[in-house]
Amino acid sequence: MHNLRPIHHGSVVTIGSFDGVHLGHQAIIRQVTAKAAELEVPSVAVVFEPQPHEFFSGEQAPARLMRLREKALALYEAGIDRVCCLQFNQTLRSLSAEQFVQQILVDGLGVKYLIVGDDFRFGMDRSGGYGYLSKAGKTYGFEVCDTDTFEVDGERVSSTRIRRELEQGNFDKAAELLGKPYTISGHVGYGQQLGRTLGVPTANVHLHRYRSPLQGVFAVRATLPDGSTYNGAANVGVRPTIGEKIKPILEVHLLDFKGSLYGEIMTVEFLHKLREEQKFDSLDLLKAQIYRDIDEAKAFFAG
């Protein structure tokens, strides 16, 4: 909020978690960008960090599909001009529906036109909805439009549905609902370098979330900053053999790659699930299984 300036006033706004920026979200964004072009003002997506259910439920919250950086990039790619990220904390969650409209939409963004999903709720105790926004719009001079449910195969497209497909290893269906393959991206960081010790160096990407929508070992395709791609085998999980109690991490072994990736941003597309993550009684047993995983990934890519 403190970054908003008078030059940011006057916009077409949408509000939501936008986790995944899936086909349903994209339908909303098309409405937003079309109306913004008509009114000749910027389009703005208001998101929250952490996501509201993470604030209330912590580690019990559903696994998020993407981090804030991935979400912002996906919103820009979909056509949004500006992303306004509000810190979801006790102060924000304590705002009444009236205060939210006054402080954020009117004073902060100077909204001219607001488009929200058909299930959008806001304000303390989720007291505000489309009906309240319509009344507030008449008071403050902005128009409000809701959107219809977006369905594929007769079922609503939602982040929950996509998480279900990913958990079941249905990557083609998840890609259909997302409008593109499911990927995880992030900076390659330092780990314990255990993979190098075992003769299987891995690029480690910390997921910075309580839970991952994926868990297990996968055949993947990784894209590097220069646009080059490599097939690989990846583990997503908490490394139970090592005995660490950590947040989930993505470890990727790239086939036929030599070099250092530390500090680089890597994007990983998940193609096929090889097995569940499991705990081994020794590092030797873990090493043997890793080599079997790599052989199985190679067999997958060989067709």
Per-residue pLDDT tens digits for 174-199: 999 999 999 999 999 986 656 566 77
The pLDDT value given to residue 240: 58
Amino acid 233 reads A
What domains does the chain contain, in order, with CATH numbers?
Answer: 8-156 (3.40.50.620), 182-301 (2.40.30.30)
Q: Is the pLDDT of residue 52 over 60?
A: yes
Per-residue pLDDT tens digits for 202-254: 999 988 888 899 999 999 999 999 999 999 999 998 865 555 556 889 999 99
- As a whole number, mean pLDDT of residues 106-116 equals 95
Per-residue pLDDT tens digits for 131-149: 899 999 999 999 999 888 8
